[in-house]
């Protein structure tokens, strides 16, 4: 009966939670002290997420993910080559769908590094290569600290190419340190975490909901949603929906043509098709100064869109026949992909 009710739902329950979170943030955005609490809770949830991944993943799996250089190069190429090229091509949409400020924000969006926590969470939900997703997302963020300001300076003519090491320190403290701590404590608590996998699933989804609420609240408090007309906002939504669709299709079907396994294709799709609001906001404040609010509007819209769309994709990937039956190694196509993946590692 419970299974029948789930099938009759017109929308994925997790999407309902995401939409409800956006609605709560729109009606009751976190302000002042509450905003600091929400931000701290989001930071803490992400740290716990990486700690649990460190506990769950064996050291051998982590090294296998690190050594998968073809996957990392593919993600970096999608993030810092394909995305910017599509952003430059969107210049032809001004002034039909976009005005100049919105186009500059869209181009900035294409230069931002990939998001980490949601890419890993969705990869885990879809039962993809989580170790590779962790490494790919982390590499993208580290490269982006240097490459994003340089690309902004070249493509947007910004003179504010300098930045502090605060973002690097944040990545190390919030992501790397908890993961290493989990690896070190794995011999003692790995069994407990393995017996309580549902806890990790709740952290996956809960961390994304916290990020959505915190980011959308900040946008509401800054009032950036009221700085553009409904028509321009509609044009931006159309352009970004097309951008996301192109990247999702390219990362999925392109990786199949490159011979990646199903698990690796999932990691590339979620790490290579998304952009980080957490990295983009502080970078925009440094690079654009007083104009940062409008510059990050396309990024904030894209961020919400990518979370909702990828949540649906991740749940569908988890219901793939080869996953349900547990026979990925028996199907001819899966054997071919696995052999190819082994040769690339």
Per-residue confidence (pLDDT) for residue 295, from 0 to 100: 75
Per-residue confidence (pLDDT) for residue 80, from 0 to 100: 96
For the chain, the C-alpha Rg in angstroms (whole number) is 20
Per-residue confidence (pLDDT) for residue 282, from 0 to 100: 65
Domain ranges of the chain: 12-319+331-344
Q: 202-238 b/e with 16+ CB inside 10 Å = b?
A: ebbbbbbbbbbbbbbbbbbebebeeebeeebeebbee
List the Cα angle 60/61/62 in 5-degree steps. Answer: 90
Intervals of the chain under pLDDT 70: 1-12, 14-15, 57-66, 157-172, 175, 199-201, 204, 208, 224-227, 278, 281-282, 285-294, 322-345
Per-residue confidence (pLDDT) for residue 169, from 0 to 100: 67
Topology (CATH) of 12-319+331-344: Na+/H+ antiporter like fold (1.20.1530)
Is the whole model's pTM more than 0.75, yes or no? no
């Amino acid at each position: 009966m419970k299974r029948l009710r789930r099938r009759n739902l017109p929308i994925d329950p997790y999407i309902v939670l995401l939409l409800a979170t956006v609605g709560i943030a729109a009606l009751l955005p976190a302000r002042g002290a509450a905003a600091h609490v929400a931000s701290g809770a989001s930071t803490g949830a992400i740290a716990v997420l990486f700690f649990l991944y460190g506990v769950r993943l064996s050291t051998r799996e982590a090294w296998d993910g690190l050594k998968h250089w073809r996957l990392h190069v593919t993600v970096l190429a999608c993030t810092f080559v394909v995305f910017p090229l599509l952003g430059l091509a969107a210049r032809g949409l001004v002034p039909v769908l976009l005005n100049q400020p919105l186009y500059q924000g869209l181009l900035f969006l294409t230069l931002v590094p990939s998001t980490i926590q949601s890419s890993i969470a969705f990869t885990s939900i879809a039962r993809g290569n989580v170790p590779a997703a962790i490494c790919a997302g982390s590499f993208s963020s580290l490269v982006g600290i240097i490459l994003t300001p340089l690309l902004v300076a070249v493509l947007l003519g910004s003179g504010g190419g300098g930045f502090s090491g605060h973002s690097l320190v944040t990545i190390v403290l919030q992501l790397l340190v908890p993961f290493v701590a989990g690896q070190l404590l794995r011999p003692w608590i790995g069994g407990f975490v393995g017996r309580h996998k549902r806890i990790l699933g709740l952290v996956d989804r809960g961390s994304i909901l916290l990020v959505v609420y915190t980011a959308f609240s900040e946008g509401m408090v800054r009032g950036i949603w009221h700085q553009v007309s409904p028509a321009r906002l509609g044009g931006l939504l159309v352009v970004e929906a097309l951008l996301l669709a192109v990247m999702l299709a390219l990362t999925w079907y392109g990786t199949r043509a490159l011979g990646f396994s199903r698990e690796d294709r999932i990691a590339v799709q979620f790490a290579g098709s998304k952009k980080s609001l957490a990295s983009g906001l502080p970078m925009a404040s440094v690079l654009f100064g007083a104009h940062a609010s409008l510059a990050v509007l396309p990024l904030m819209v894209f961020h919400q869109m990518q979370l909702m769309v990828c949540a649906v994709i991740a749940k569908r990937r988890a219901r793939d026949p080869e996953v349900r039956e547990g026979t990925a190694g028996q199907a001819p196509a899966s054997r071919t992909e696995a052999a190819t993946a082994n040769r690339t590692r």
